[in-house]
Amino acid sequence: MAPATNHNDLIHIPTRGAAYTWEIRSRGRRHIKRRLDRSVCNQSWLDLCTTISCSTLTKICSDHFPILLEFKADSQKFASGFKFFKMWSLHEGCKEIVSNCWKESFTGCPMSILSSKLKSLKNKLKVWNRDVFGNVNNNVEEAEKKLSNIQSQIQLIGHSDHLMDEEKQAQTSLNQALYRQEVLWQEKARIRWHLDGDRNSSYFHRVIVTPRFPNIKISLKT
């Protein structure tokens, strides 16, 4: 294993616990032990971590000791990737931005042109998202406040055609803001199904802030 790790500039992470990770036991003197299982990484990954520990776990059925690798990464060193959100496509201005970017002229091979157009589209969508959508949660709060103020006026001075029109418009705006918030949380939580009934933005938020574990599926039964 050493030649392979040395050739690829990999670093062995020290392991606490069992000195040998594999063994064959049999009656008599035949008892073979080897250190076959290791955790390795490269320097780039090592630079991203603030703490690293590797240890063996209890061996139950296998002839190998399981290895547990624990680490904490510096979140500031991880760049956030660009994501296209479905809520953008619900706005009439999104299609126009995509169309205009695709009409832009670039030079180079087909793959280079495609890359340039995607990069241009990414930058324009980021600016457009900030200007049009802003903070999704703040938009919901502002829409709720506006509707509450209109309904308070109706309670104080009574109904009027003008206030009824404003209330209907405010209700529509609030529903749109809530729907965009719900779509955003669904996408961020990587959940493909939709729960019927009341809105579930708080649930999606909990899913996002809860640490993710691989190969775990979430399902609800009704």
Q: pTM above the 0.95 mark?
A: no
Percent of the residues in the chain that have a pLDDT greater than 70, as a whole number: 78
- The pLDDT of residue 196 is 44
H helical segments located in 133-211:
136-157, 161-188, 201-209
- The pLDDT of residue 55 is 92
Domain extent listing, the chain? 10-73, 96-134, 135-212
Cβ pair 65, 37 in contact under 8 A: yes
CA distance 204 to 192: 11
203 has a pLDDT exceeding 80: no
> Dihedral (C-alpha) 95, 97, 98, 104: value to the nearest 10 degrees?
140
Mean per-residue pLDDT for 58-81?
A: 77
Task: Show the tokens assigned to 73.
Answer: 């990464």
- The pLDDT of residue 80 is 60
- Region for residue 132 given its phi and psi (left: phi exceeds 0; alpha: psi -120 to 50; beta: otherwise): alpha
CA distance 173 to 150: 13
Categorize the per-residue pLDDT at 199 as very low, low, confident or very high, splitting at 50, 70 and 90: low
Q: Which amino acid is at 48?
A: L
Mean per-residue pLDDT for 62-89?
A: 77
- The pLDDT of residue 216 is 41
- The pLDDT of residue 172 is 92
